[in-house]
Amino acid sequence: MSGTVPPQSVLGYAEALTDKLVRVSDGRVQAAYLHGSAALGGWQPGSDVDLLIVGADDLGAGTLSLVAKSLTDSRGACPGRGLECSLVSHSAARAPAPPWPYLLHVVTGQQEPGGFRVSAGGESAGDADLLMHYAVCRAAGWPLYGPPPEQAIGPVSRQCILAYLAGELRWGLEHGSEAYAVLNACRALIYQADGQIVAKISGGESALRRGLGPAGLIDRALAQQQGRAAAQRPGADAAAFVRAAAARLADGSL
């Protein structure tokens, strides 16, 4: 179990939601884990609540519909920005592999038209983000129900994680804020250095201590992430740092 206790508001919401999912599924929901910033540390009121749910391999359409309704109905009680939840089968969790299949993906929050978005998966549909959800759960996931995450979720290879992180850095430069791009680069370099999976703020602070990037830039990104400075798009120095980090990750040997 993670050494970081999730905020009580997040934990209370997630525990109540998990209890409901177990009931409406007649016990076919087998495990539930908090991951993301709530499990790694650094959760803030503007953060998402990230959940990974593991269900039986024989979940039918009716049960999936009940689970989806329970997830979307919970949006009014969700702290932070909203819920991001993936439901995967027992077999998919035990042996994670491309295309990273899922059964259901639900996102709630004001950023979604109508307040929520539901995506149904299947045998051929996949979500590459799941590989990182699996890795975070194994490293630091908070078990809400079911066995410890390392028993329910199989390992994801280091090469898969490095390739994913490199792609995430490129995405962040195009679509994210400076804090998002820079601090994700910091946490990616920490993972590359010693295999630790950390939150964005912890990654920035650790990168500062280790001298893994320009101190002024990382300080600026931390101030933005913590609300001490206004958010902004990545500057030229941020873009150079993030691109260099992505190149190192893509090489995979450093």
* Concatenated DSSP letters of 51-68: EEEEE-TT--HHHHHHHH
Report the chain's C-alpha Rg in angstroms.
18
Q: What percent of the chain has pLDDT over 90?
A: 85
Low-confidence ranges of the chain (pLDDT < 70): 1-3, 123-124, 252-254
What's residue 190's pLDDT?
A: 96
Q: Which fold has domain 8-152?
A: Beta Polymerase; domain 2 (3.30.460)
Q: Which pLDDT belongs to residue 41?
A: 87
E runs forming strands in 73-205: 82-89, 104-108, 116-120, 142-145
Rounded to 10 degrees, what is the CA torsion of 245, 42, 83, 17? 140
Q: What per-residue confidence (pLDDT) applies to 110?
A: 86
Q: What is the pLDDT of residue 253?
A: 42
Q: How far is the C-alpha of 67 from the C-alpha of 64, rounded, in Å?
A: 5
Residues of the chain with CATH 3.30.460: 8-152
Q: Kindly report the CA angle at 193 between 189 and 194, in degrees rounded to 5?
A: 125
| pLDDT score, position 124 | 60
Render pLDDT for 200-213 as a digit per residue (tens, 0 to 9).
Answer: 999 999 999 999 99
